[in-house]
């Protein structure tokens, strides 16, 4: 299992890029999973559903299963937020995990940059960034820069620059 991140400021197009990139990687024969960081509370469960009632009643974990999918909801109930390494260690084996967010994590990352967002590049302050996908040329940058629309080259970059899970976990202090 290999890991690489997509990092960038809010509005830079990380999710849009992922939704275009994943089908290309799958077409190459890779089994791909994603891990997304949320900076705020979120809920994937709906009030009125049995699973929501179980969670609201105090269950620490609620697993929902059907013939199409299963989901595991884990309530922290005051425990510290799990680290990226903790979450990666819980994932089922696949060929490649694409991590969205966690922009300060010590894993190889592709920076997603749009000049219109008006934020500075992350790369000058992050030696884990291996390339930048941007909406225009960045002549001041020494890293490889690829167009946000060049999905084939981006797929090449994430495949080549991803790191084995064990190395990612060691960098996160999980192993």
Quick check: helix, strand or coil at residue 74? strand
The answer to whether residue 101 sits within a structural domain is yes
pTM score, whole prediction: 0.89
The answer to whether residue 61 sits within a structural domain is no
Instruction: State which residues form the domain around 113.
Output: 2-39+81-171
The answer to whether residue 145 sits within a structural domain is yes
Helix (H) or strand (E) holding 19: helix 14-27
Cβ-based neighbours of 111, under 8 Å, separated by 6 or more: 7, 8, 121, 122, 123, 126, 129, 131, 132, 133
The answer to whether residue 70 sits within a structural domain is no
- We report the CATH number of the domain holding residue 31 as 3.40.50.300
The answer to whether residue 28 sits within a structural domain is yes
Tens place of pLDDT for every residue, the chain, 175 residues? 999 999 999 999 999 999 999 999 999 999 999 998 876 666 677 788 888 888 888 888 888 888 888 888 888 888 898 889 889 988 999 999 999 988 889 999 999 999 999 999 999 999 999 999 999 999 889 999 999 999 999 999 999 999 998 888 787 655 4
The answer to whether residue 76 sits within a structural domain is no
Which of 161, 172, 175 lies closest to 2, judged by CA?
161
């Amino acid at each position: 299992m290999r890991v690489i991140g997509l990092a960038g400021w809010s509005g830079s197009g990380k999710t849009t890029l992922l939704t275009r990139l994943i089908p290309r990687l799958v077409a190459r024969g890779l089994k791909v999973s994603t891990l997304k960081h949320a900076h705020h509370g979120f809920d994937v469960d709906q009030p009125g559903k049995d699973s929501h009632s179980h969670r609201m009643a105090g269950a620490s974990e609620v697993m929902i299963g059907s013939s199409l999918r299963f989901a595991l909801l884990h309530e922290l109930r005051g425990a510290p937020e799990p680290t990226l390494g903790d979450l990666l260690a819980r994932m089922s084996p696949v060929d490649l995990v694409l991590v969205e967010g966690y922009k300060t994590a010590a894993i190889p990352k592709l920076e997603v940059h749009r000049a219109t967002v008006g934020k500075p590049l992350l790369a000058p302050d992050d030696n884990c960034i291996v390339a930048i996908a941007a909406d225009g040329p960045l002549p001041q940058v020494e890293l490889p820069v690829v167009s946000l629309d060049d999905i084939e080259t981006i797929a090449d970059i994430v495949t080549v620059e991803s790191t084995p899970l064990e190395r990612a976990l060691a960098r996160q202090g999980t192993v």
